[in-house]
Chain A
Amino acid sequence: MNAYHYVQCGLDNVWLINGFEIIETEYGASVRIDRADELDATIAAYLTEKSAPLTGQEFRYLRQQLDMSQKRIGELMGKEAQTVALWEKGGALNRDVDFLIRHIYRQTVLNERRTYIEMVDRLNHLDRAENAERLEFREMTGRWIRAD
């Protein structure tokens, strides 16, 4: 069986030796990957430990594993979203940025540190709230509040 080039993960250099099944459908060839979420997490864990500096694409991969926007991850690093976008289009990251994204991912996902999980959840919640087109308010105990 040929290895499968797993481009859907968002990285150009990931190949699966096994653990996938390709079948033809009326819509075209399709792939099913065994425990794909676990595979994505395994790739991310590998990236946090690789000895070479992370590339922009690998930075984007870790950010998106955290489900964070360029804007929010930029805020954590004291940078604008546009700067983050430039990092992600570029080659090797500078050392500080490389360290920070690995650290945030490790503490949030691998070490399951509550403060990090809460921080990432809070920032992602802010993003979703900003994106919401419909604003819902609730009257409660004599005052109006924004409903979640």
Chain B
Amino acid sequence: MPNILSFPMPAEHALALIRQAVSEGRVRLLSPPAGGDWYRVVTHRQVALCLKEGEMVAAPEIDGHGNVTCWLERFGAGLTVRLHLVLKKNQNDEWEILVIEVENQL
């Protein structure tokens, strides 16, 4: 039986999928925002920059829903922003990002 998707997904592969999804606008945020009022401290701008430029801080894993999940981190605007993301296919069979947590620290 062919190996359809190799796990664990290599970090470079996941990062490439994230960057492509971002460049093509396939990004979702939980609404209402989960994980507290993060938008009182950082704005959507820092989330977007983290998706575009952030570094992966842990290897991708499979979560309880069977999706690929990972963490990205970037320092900007005086804060370190960490995003917990899920990579999943959308209805058009394209990879899409869902931001499920936004953390920040001074």
Contacts and interface: CB of A to CB of B under 8 A. Distances in A.
B10 interface: no
B78 to A, nearest CB: 3
Given A25-B98, A36-B27, A69 B78 contact: yes
A8 B76 contact: no
A32 B28 contact: yes
B30 A65 contact: no
A64 B47 CA distance: 11
B44 to A, nearest CB: 5
B100 A9 contact: no
Interface size class of B (residues with CB under 8 A): 20 to 34
Contact of A67 (B27, B45, B86, B100): B45
B22 to A, nearest CB: 10
Given A35-B25, A40-B45, A10 B30 contact: no
Interface in A19-73: 22-23, 25-37, 40, 60-61, 63-65, 67-72
Interface in A111-132: 124, 127-128, 131
A71 B78 contact: yes
Interface residues of A, number: 37
Q: Which of B30, B45, B47, B49 has the most CB of A within 10 A?
A: B45
Given A22-B31, A34-B25, A131-B80, A64 B45 contact: yes
Contacts of A9: 39, 43-44
Contact of B75 (A26, A33, A64, A127): A127
Interface string B18-39: 0000000111111111100001
B100 A27 contact: yes
A36 B98 contact: no
A1 interface: no
Interface of A: 4, 7-10, 22-23, 25-37, 40, 60-61, 63-65, 67-72, 81, 124, 127-128, 131
Interface of B: 25-34, 39-40, 42-49, 65, 75-80, 86, 98, 100
17 contacts: A7-B39, A9-B39, A10-B39, A10-B43, A23-B28, A27-B34, A27-B65, A27-B86, A28-B34, A29-B31, A31-B29, A32-B25, A32-B29, A36-B44, A40-B43, A67-B77, A81-B78
